[in-house]
Structure 1
Amino acid sequence: METIYLDNAATTPMLPEVIDTITSTMQTVYGNPSSTHQIGRKSRSLVETARKNIAKCLNATANEIVFTAGGSEADNLILRNAVVNLGITTIISSKIEHHAVLHTIESLVEEFKITVNWVDLDENGKVDYKHLEELLKQTNDKKLVSLMYVNNEIGNILDVKKVSDLCIANNTLFHSDAVQAVGHFPIDVQQNPIDFFVASAHKFHGPKGVGFAYIKRGFGIQPILHGGEQERGARAGTENIHSILGMEKALEIACKKMQQESEYIQQLKSYFINKLKTNFEGIQFNGLSEDSNQSSYIILNVRFPKEYSMLLFNLDLKGIAVSGGSACQSGSNKGSHVLNTIINENEAKKTSVRFSFSKLNTKEEIDYTIKTLKQIL
C-alpha cells in the first residue's frame, strides 16, 4: 500500500541531513555545556554557534534567541513574562489562536485577573485591523497583542507589518506564535519589529521537542522553569544539544532554499485545488486557504458538502495521512475551535479536512489522493 503524508502542518519528516547532524554529534559531542573543562566548552561553543546562525536567518542577534522544548513552552514563557515581569494588564488576541496561546491566556486570567479583549474576525477568519486599532486606543492599560503569524488550521497569514505598526503607534507589545511561519516565510525582525515570537523545529523538517523564543533585546525575562542559570537565566535545564544542532541544520536548509521550495509546494497546492474543484461539486475552502496571496502555501482546509464521519479513517486505511482541523484537535469530539468560531453551526457539521504539504510531496501523490477520495466519496 502506498503511503502519502499530507499532514505537514502537524509535523514534518526530518531531513537526512538533519538526522546525520544529530547522530554524528551524539557520537562525538557529549559534554555538558555548563561544564568548564574542554569537553564541556566544545558543547557550549556548538550551542552558541547554533544560536548565532539561527539568529542570522531572522536578522536578529544571538542574545535574542532562547532555546526551549518547542513552541508551546516558548508561548508560555513569553505570555507569562509579559504579565508577571513586564506589567501587562490587558491582552488583545483572537479566538482562533493555537491552544498554546489560548489556554495560557485562560490561566493568566484566572491567576492574575488580567483583561482580555478579542479582536473581531470576518467569515474567513481574517483579523479586523480597524477593530484592532480601536481596541488598542480603548484604554491606557499596558497592553500586549498576541496574534499568530500563520493560522495552523486554515493557513491565514497575518499582516505582521500592519500589526507591528499599530502596536508601535499605540505603545503596545506584540507577540506572535510563528510556529507555522519560521522556516517557510522570510522573517526579518529589523523590517518587521515584532517584540516576541516563537518557533518549533519539527515544523520545518527538524527534530521534535526543541524550539526557541525570540525575545527582542532589552526585555528582561524571568524563567518559568527553575533550577539552573542556563539560557542566560531565562530557562533552567541542560541544553538539548543534539536537537538544537538538528534545528540549526534544518533552519539553515530552509532559509537557503525557501523561495525555490515555496514555489514548488504552492504549485502542488494549486494543482490539488484545481483537481478538487474539477472532481467534487460543492467543495468549499475554509478561511483564506484557497487564496495563494493571503494563506500559507502549505495548508489547505477543505470543507466537503456534507458530513462523512469516517473520511479520515478511510483515508488512513488507504495510506493517506491528514488531519481534521489541527493535529492537536483530531482526537477531540468538540471539533475545531477555529472552524466553530468562523463558520455557522450547519457548515461546521460538514466534514472538513486539513491537507498540508511539504517539499517531499509529489504531483503523483496528489493524483493518488484525488483518486482515493473519489473512491471513498
Structure 2
Amino acid sequence: MKSQTIHAPTAEQIRRAPKVVLHDHLDGGLRPGTVVELARENGYGSLPYDDTDKLGSWFREAADSGSLERYLETFAHTVGVMQTENALRRVAAECAEDLAADGVVYAEVRYAPEQHLEGGLTLEQVVEAVNAGFREGERRARENGHRIRVGALLTAMRHAARSLEIAELANRYRDSGVVGFDIAGAEAGYPPTRHLDAFEFLKRENNHFTIHAGEAFGLPSIWQALQWCGADRLGHGVRIIDDIQVAEDGSVELGRLAAYVRDKRIPLELCPTSNLQTGAVDSYANHPIGLLRRLHFRVTVNTDNRLMSGTTMSREFEHLVETFDYALDDLQWFTVNAMKSAFIPFDERVAMIDDVIKPGYATLKAEWLFR
C-alpha cells in the first residue's frame, strides 16, 4: 500500500464528490433484499439463499472467480426476478436512488430488454417501465437532497440475433430517456461484426453506441469495435494495454491501435474491481488505468455491476486513491472525462461540468485550505 499524500481525499470527501458513471448494468446493481423480496412476490424459487446477507455474499463470491463466463452466470438470478413491470420500475428507481446517495450526479445505466420478456412483457413495456423507474428514483433522490440524471442504454446480447431490433427500439425512445445502445455478453466467439446491421442503422440515424470490447478478449475485439463498427466508446477496453510497450528505462511506445484510441480521444469505460473479478488484471496496482491516466487516454472510472462486485463509485475511487496516491484533481479529471463522453447533447454536458462537477470539487479542495 502506498503512503497517502496530504492531498489524498478522505472516504467522506470521495462520497461527497460529484461523480459520473457511464458503465453500470441495471441487472448487476440490485439490492440483495430486493432480489429476495421480488423472488417471493413473483414465485422465483431458484435463489441459492433467501437470507439477504447470505445472498449478497454469494453474489460477490460467485462473481469473484477470475472467469468472465462464470461472472455472467450470476445474472440468471437478478434477471429472473426482473420479469414484471412493477419489478423493473422498482429496480430502476432503487438504482437511481443508490447512485445518487453515493454522489453520482449523472449515470448511464444499461440493460438488455430482450432478457425481460419471460413474464409476457413486450419490449416497449420493458423500456417504459425502466424509464418510469428512473424518473421515480430521480424524484426520490431530490427529496433526499441529492441531484442525479439517469439515461438508459439499451443492450443487445451479442450471442443472440436481435441487435437490429434493439437498435431500432433505442432509436424510437431516444427522446424519452434512452440515450444510446450497447452490445454485451461473452466476447470470445461472438465478435461485434455479427451485428453490423445494427451499427449501420444507428450511424444512419446519428445515434450513439458503445460496445463491450477488450475486456476478456484482446486487441482484435477493440479493432473491430472501432474500425468495422464505429463505436463511440469502448465498454472496458482494458486490453488496449496489449498495444503499449513499456521499456526497462520507463519509456513508453504506443502501437498503432493504442495511438489511434488516444489520438481520437475514444473513451475507455474502465471498471477496475470488475476487471479483477473476471481475471482481466490481477491487482489494482497492476491495473492499466494508472499508465493510461499518465498517458492521457480518455479514461473513465465505472462500477460495472455494483452487486456482484460489492462496489460503488466511491469505492472505486477509494481503491484508486489508495493504489495510485490520487488527489481530488485526479478524481475530477476522471469525472470530467466521463461527462465529456456522455451520450447527451454537448450543451447539457458542458452545463453539468461547469455548474455541478467543477463547483463540487472546488468546494472540496477549499476544505484543505481552511483545515
TM-score of the superposition, structure 1-length normalised?
0.28
Q: Relative contact order (alpha carbons < 8 A, sep ≥ 6): 1 or 2 greater?
A: 1
TM-score of the superposition, structure 2-length normalised?
0.28
Larger radius of gyration: 1
